[in-house]
Amino acid sequence: MAFGDHEGDKSRWIVSQCCENVAEMCDSPLNNLCCGAGGGAWAMPYTEERLAYGKHKADQITKTGAELVIAPCHNCRDQIMKGLAKEFDMGNYKETMYIWELVSESLVYEPWSEEEIKKAHAERDAQFERDGVELEELE
């Protein structure tokens, strides 16, 4: 994935399968901006610069009017949730989720059958024995 390759359209499709009323970050993906924590900046000691960079993103988020922001990576999520949300007033904003968190929370699925559970537990026990892992709560 790189700037301008429109690979983000795949993420947009995934999000649209999980939510109604999806708002675009801005008019065109080419006007979309890095959150400010990319390239290792989240771990860098330049907090002031990171937040000043992120102000562009905070303004974009405010303009969408959205409550929930979907982030495609760990750094973006931390920057928006722990950086920008604390530093700036982002209007209706309430929370940030990883895209895989959104998918996970949207899942409707059947629990496994008794047979599948038994098989999984047997595999698990064999693995624990191989690795010398002992869990008291089990049995």
Partner 1 sequence: MQEPITIDRSNRRLGTSPELADVCFACGTCASGCPATGLVPGWDPRKAIRAIALGLEQEVIDSKFPWVCTLCARCEYVCPMGVQLVKTLRGCRILRERDEVPGPIHKGTIMNFERGNNLGIPRDDLLFLLADLGPEMEEDEKQPCPGFYVPVDKEGANIIVTMNSKEPFAEPDDMKFWWRIFYAAKEDWTVSSTNWEGVNWGLFSGDDENWKIQVGRVLENARRLKVKTILYPE
Centre a 10 Å sphere on the Cβ of residue 13 and count the other Cβ atoms it contains.
Answer: 9
Smallest gap from Cβ 16 to partner 1, in A, equals: 17
Nearer to partner 1, 92 or 138 (CB): 138
CA distances from 87 to 46, 61, 96, 133 (A): 15, 13, 15, 44
Mapped onto helix, strand or coil, the DSSP state of residue 121 is helix
Q: Give CA angle at 105 (1, 35), nearest 5°.
A: 35
CA distances 15 to 9, 27, 42, 94, Å, are 10, 17, 25, 17
Phi, psi of 87 (to 5 degrees): -90, -35
Total chain residues near partner 1 (CB under 8 A) = 47
Compute the least distance from the CB of residue 136 to partner 1, in Å: 10
Is residue 112 at the binding interface for partner 1, with CB under 8 A as the rule? yes
Name the one range near partner 1 by CB under 8 A: 6-14, 18-26, 82-90, 125-133: 125-133
**Closest separation between CB of residue 128 and partner 1, Å?**
6
Q: Which of these ranges, 15-23, 40-48, 62-70, 82-90, lies near partner 1 under the rule CB under 8 A?
A: 40-48
Residues of span 55-94 touching partner 1 by CB under 8 A = 56, 73-74
Q: Which window, 10-18, 30-38, 63-71, 84-92, contacts partner 1 (CB under 8 A)?
A: 30-38
